[in-house]
Homo-oligomer: A and B are copies of this chain.
């Protein structure tokens, strides 16, 4: 049975910050996304939206912990063409998460396990699966599928 460092279900608050961007290219927005991920926000993404004057545009959303508010505001105002940002606070609930490793025929892979009451969910760590897939000329799907099978045999679930 895999060793598991169980963590309690978390309930906390996150900030969702938005900015609408219609005067910057996708090329530059890809750069902004990378910078936001690097400073440690939980998530950042673009939603295509239809604006006035026939403009295809994007709504940037950034999700992060309240302590990062000033840093994220500054980064978004500095890196994007937007002259303003708006935000609100949301309640968040996370599953109990734990981490484990499995050894497949392609090599070792990390798994994230989520638990809520009776229900259990397992996700294979993408970056490792991608590296192994690339090295072995496989699809990510095949590698992930392998890891899940080894896990299931081990945990007899």
Contact = CB atoms under 8 A, between A and B. Distances in A.
A101 to B, nearest CB: 18
A144 B31 CA distance: 13
A128 interface: no
A25 B27 contact: no
A95 B86 contact: no
Interface in A79-95: 79-81, 83-95
A141 B3 CA distance: 24
A27 B55 contact: yes
A51 B57 contact: no
Nearest to A113: B83
Interface in A31-78: 31-35, 37, 43-59, 61, 63, 73-74, 77-78
Nearest to A126: B27
A46 B51 CA distance: 7
A116 B117 CA distance: 43
22 contacts: A20-B43, A22-B25, A22-B27, A23-B28, A23-B126, A27-B55, A29-B56, A34-B52, A43-B51, A45-B50, A46-B56, A50-B56, A81-B123, A84-B93, A85-B92, A85-B93, A86-B91, A87-B90, A88-B88, A88-B91, A149-B149, A149-B152
